[in-house]
Amino acid sequence: MIELIKGDITKITCDAVVNAANSSLLGGGGVDGAIHRAGGSEILADCRKIIARQGGCKTGEAVITTAGKLPAKYVIHTVGPVWKGGSNGEDAQLANCYVNSLNLALKNGCKTVAFPNISTGVYGFPKERAARIAVTAAQEFIQNRSIGKIIFVCFDDENYKLYQNILSSPT
């Protein structure tokens, strides 16, 4: 099942919240900063352990930490691509963010996963293109694996309407 919500991802009750992280995993602006602020120091402490072990997170990959004070069990941090015009593998990297996050969620027993709009803020990925990639990745994943619910959480009206149109149109 795929659900669409307009709201604040830090307030969503679910098994795993996905963070649109940067490769350093040390927090930043946008969704990343909001998740670190709302979740508290436990998230950063877990991120530092990951950094010590593997040196951060590469674009398209995902790592998992505690959710700290968030109403979730875990935060899955994934690094979306910076938009460079579309001919540098950005679409595949963005799809990998969703697939790798969902695989990590399943591996950790998660049945509900909430996603923000990855790479559409300061990373500059075109919003409609990103939404189509996100929805396609989620629909394909749900067909082949047992995950209860994927929630797309849109902070603004523009993204919410894009997702609403894509999810309501026939495939």
How far apart are alpha carbons 142 and 100 in whole angstroms? 13
Contacting residues for 158 by C-beta, under 8 A, at least 6 apart: 127
Do 117 and 131 form a contact (C-beta atoms < 8 A)?
yes
Distances (CA, A) of 36 to 43, 44, 48, 80, 164: 7, 7, 13, 17, 28
Exposed / middle / buried, residue 109 (Cβ in 10 Å: 0-12, 13-18, 19+): exposed
Handedness of CA 23, 29, 34, 39 (dihedral sign): positive
Task: Give the active site residue among 8, 15, 32, 157.
Answer: 32
Catalytic annotation present for 32: yes
Q: Please state the φ and ψ torsions of residue 150, each to the nearest 5 degrees.
A: -110, 125
Catalytic positions are 32
